[in-house]
């Protein structure tokens, strides 16, 4: 296996909150070995299943998060299983676990014991609320962590009778995993100098708390409370929409035109499409071209500037009504205006830019008789490119 962490041995005690960290480390080239119960990790039963057939070897959740890892079957509450785990810890550079505070210690398999035997070991514990908070021993889910941790408060719709929204994809675990990975990499760099490892306590609730942008730092600085808005930043004061629906029913996120050049580009685009007679505010839109840059301060001073801004916004909506989301996205970007098509995750893999960058990774799945596209690497390292992705370990493939 290649990648910047090649030669680094990671042991991961299979768990929901540790899975993503182990995956990132495998993607970086580390040798990652899972420890799971002989009956199979409960994570193997996470939906959805390939062909909707519930089977411990067909969970797509398992496929995604455990790809690139090997697995060892060991019941940690038996002497035999504990011995297997100890042997694995004794050869590890990094242990990642999310069993909950004190759970592995109670089995004689905690950080203290492992580090006494191996001072260079880096031990990463990921818990819902940190090692000291009793809530880490209580149940929590992605939904409850993002609700209490801040992201949910900022996310939803202008109409506040609609519940706030928890975004998808399991981001509470991802954010904790990002901090776990950054932290253990820093610990590996430190170990290069000192020869010593350490214990890292990663708190998923705290990770969500410091991943809310202005919701947290606006409160810290100014005691302001952001309010959620449809498809744009939550803000202490209402702001204009930035998300436009297009002729094909899909959406594009964009800012309003701000620079003199943008108004000219929009006017030119309307002419190119032969729509200049249909758009009522063409004259005002063209005036925008004369302004090198329109600042918010100017907007407050001059009525006309406000009208030009409104015409720019109207032109954007006018175009959206007549174009597909992809056409609007491409057309705005090609004319120098920031815009993003709101893709569904599966649409990303088919996008020409991502295809040109060979983003998706193809994995052979003999049981399906074909290859399957997995998400690509988040970061690539030209000096040490990653090897092919190996499918997640099946029950029968475990040591």
Partner 1 sequence: MGTGALAHIRICDFTGQLAGAGATKFLAAMGAEVIRIEDPVTQGRWDILRGAPPFKDKRRGSEFGSGFNNHNVNKLGITLNLRTDKGKELLAELVRRSDAVTENFAPGVLERWGFGYSHLKELKEDILYVSNCGFGQVGPYGTFKSWGPIAQAVCGITFTSGLPDLPPAGWGYSYMDHTGGYYMAIAILAGLFWRARTGEGQWIDMSCTEAGAALCGPALLDAEVNGRPLRRPGSPNSNRNAWPAMAPHGIYATDGEDNWLALSVQDDAQWQAFATVVAEPWAAEERWRHRDVRLDHQDELDELVTAWTAGRDRFALAEQLRAAGVAAAPVQRPGERIDGDPATAAFGLWPTVDHAAMGEIRVDGLPVHFSETDWAITEGGPLLAMHNDDVYHRVLGLSPSEIDGLRAEGVI
Q: For residues 126-145, which are near partner 1 according to CB under 8 A?
A: 129-133, 135, 138-145
Binding residues for partner 1 restricted to 250-269, rule: CB under 8 A:
251-254
Distance CA 131, CA 121 (A): 19
State how far Cα 113 lies from the chain centre. 34
Which stretch, 69-77, 123-131, 270-278, 286-294, contacts partner 1 (CB under 8 A)? 123-131
- Footprint (CB under 8 A) of partner 1, residues 261-320: none
Rounded distance between C-alpha atoms, residue 221 and residue 183, angstroms: 27
- Of the candidates 77, 83, 160, 248, which one interacts with partner 1 according to CB under 8 A? 160
Does residue 245 touch partner 1 according to CB under 8 A?
A: yes
Distance, first Cα to last Cα, the chain: 19
Regarding 347 and contact with partner 1 (CB under 8 A), the answer is: yes
CA distance 4 to 92: 17
CA distance 165 to 101: 30
State the minimum distance, in angstroms, from the CB of residue 84 to partner 1. Answer: 26
What residues contact residue 301 under an 8 Å CB cut-off, 6+ apart? none
Contact segment (CB under 8 A) with partner 1 among 32-40, 82-90, 229-237, 312-320 equals: 229-237
Q: Which helix (H) or strand (E) holds 140?
A: none
Look at the block and give the residue holding tokens 């918010």. Answer: 296
Stated length of the chain: 399
- Site for partner 1, residues 97 to 116, rule: CB under 8 A: none
Of the candidate residues 40, 110, 151, 331, the single one contacting partner 1 (CB under 8 A) = 151
Tokens of 11: 């042991």
* Cα–Cα distances in angstroms (integers) from residue 137 to residues 61, 100, 130, 219, in the given order: 24, 6, 10, 29
Q: Is 22 among the residues that bind partner 1 (CB under 8 A)?
A: no
Check residue 34 for interaction with partner 1 (CB under 8 A).
no
Q: Which is nearer to partner 1, 147 or 287 (CB)?
A: 147
Q: Is 238 in the site for partner 1 (CB under 8 A)?
A: no
Report the residue from 90, 91, 196, 388 that binds partner 1 according to the rule CB under 8 A.
196
Answer yes or no whether residue 207 interacts with partner 1 by CB under 8 A.
yes
Q: Looking at beta carbons only, is 51 or 283 nearer to partner 1?
A: 51
Pick the closest to residue 235 from 289, 130, 156, 176 (CA basis): 156
Q: How far is the CB of 274 from partner 1 (least distance, A)?
A: 26
Q: How far apart are CA 83 and CA 57, in angstroms?
A: 26
Using CB under 8 A as the binding rule, whether residue 117 contacts partner 1 is answered as no
CB within 8 Å of 122: residues ≥ 6 apart:
93, 94, 95, 184, 187, 188, 191, 197, 198, 200
Q: Is 324 among the residues that bind partner 1 (CB under 8 A)?
A: no
Rule CB under 8 A: choose which of 359, 394, 395, 398 binds partner 1.
359
**In the set 188, 275, 314, 395, which binds partner 1 (CB under 8 A)?**
188
Q: Taking the complex as a whole, how short is the minimal distance between the CB of residue 273 and partner 1, in angstroms? A: 21
> What does the DSSP 8-state code read for residue 396?
G
Structure tokens at 329: 């996205």
333 binds partner 1 (CB under 8 A): yes
Contact region with partner 1 (CB under 8 A), list: 32-40, 232-240, 259-267, 309-317: 232-240
C-beta closer to partner 1: residue 190 or 324: 190
User: Of 34, 229, 269, 312, which lies in the binding site for partner 1, with binding defined by CB under 8 A?
Assistant: 229
- Which residues in the 54-93 window bind partner 1 by CB under 8 A? 60-61, 63-65
Q: How far apart are CA 189 and CA 183, in angstroms?
A: 10
| Cβ-Cβ contacts under 8 Å for 289 (sequence gap 6 or more) | 260, 261, 263, 264, 267
Query: 304 or 343, CB closer to partner 1?
Result: 343
**Does residue 9 belong to the site contacting partner 1 (CB under 8 A)?**
no
Is residue 215 near partner 1 by the rule CB under 8 A? yes
Cβ–Cβ under 8 Å, residues 198 and 187: yes
């Amino acid at each position: 296996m290649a990648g910047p962490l090649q030669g680094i041995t990671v042991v991961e005690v299979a768990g929901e909150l540790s899975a993503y960290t182990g995956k990132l480390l495998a993607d970086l080239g580390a040798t990652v070995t899972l420890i799971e119960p002989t009956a199979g990790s409960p994570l193997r039963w996470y939906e959805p299943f390939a062909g909707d057939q519930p089977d411990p070897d067909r969970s797509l959740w398992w496929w995604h998060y455990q790809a690139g890892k090997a697995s060892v079957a060991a019941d940690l509450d038996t002497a035999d299983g504990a011995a297997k785990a100890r042997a694995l810890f004794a050869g590890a550079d990094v242990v990642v676990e999310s069993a909950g505070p004190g759970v592995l210690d109670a089995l004689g398999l905690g950080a203290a014991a492992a580090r006494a035997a191996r001072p260079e070991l880096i031990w990463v514990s990921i818990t819902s609320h940190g090692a000291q908070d009793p809530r880490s021993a209580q149940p929590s889910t992605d939904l409850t962590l993002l609700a209490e941790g801040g992201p949910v408060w900022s996310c939803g719709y202008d109409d506040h009778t609609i519940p706030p929204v928890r975004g998808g994809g399991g981001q509470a675990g991802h954010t904790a995993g990002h901090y776990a990975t950054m932290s253990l990499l820093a610990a590996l760099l430190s170990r290069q100098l000192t020869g010593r490892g350490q214990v890292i306590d990663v708190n998923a609730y705290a990770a969500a708390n410091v991943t809310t942008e202005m919701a947290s730092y606006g409160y810290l600085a100014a005691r302001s409370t952001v309010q959620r808005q449809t498809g744009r930043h939550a803000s202490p004061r209402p702001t204009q929409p930035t998300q436009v629906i297009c002729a094909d029913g899909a959406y594009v996120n964009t800012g309003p035109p701000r620079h003199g050049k943008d108004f000219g580009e929009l006017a030119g685009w309307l002419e190119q499409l032969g729509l200049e007679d249909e758009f009522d505010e063409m004259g005002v839109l063209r005036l925008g071209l004369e302004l090198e840059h329109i600042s918010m301060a100017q907007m407050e001073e001059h009525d006309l500037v406000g009208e030009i801004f409104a015409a720019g916004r109207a032109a954007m909506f006018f175009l959206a009504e007549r174009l597909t989301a992809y056409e609007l996205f491409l057309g705005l970007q090609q004319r120098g205006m920031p815009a993003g098509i709101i893709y569904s995750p599966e649409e990303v893999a088919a996008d020409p830019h991502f295809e040109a960058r060979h983003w998706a990774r193809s994995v052979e799945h003999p049981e399906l008789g074909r290859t399957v596209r997995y998400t690509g690497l988040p970061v690539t390292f030209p000096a040490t490119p990653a090897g092919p992705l190996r499918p997640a370990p099946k029950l029968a493939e475990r040591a």
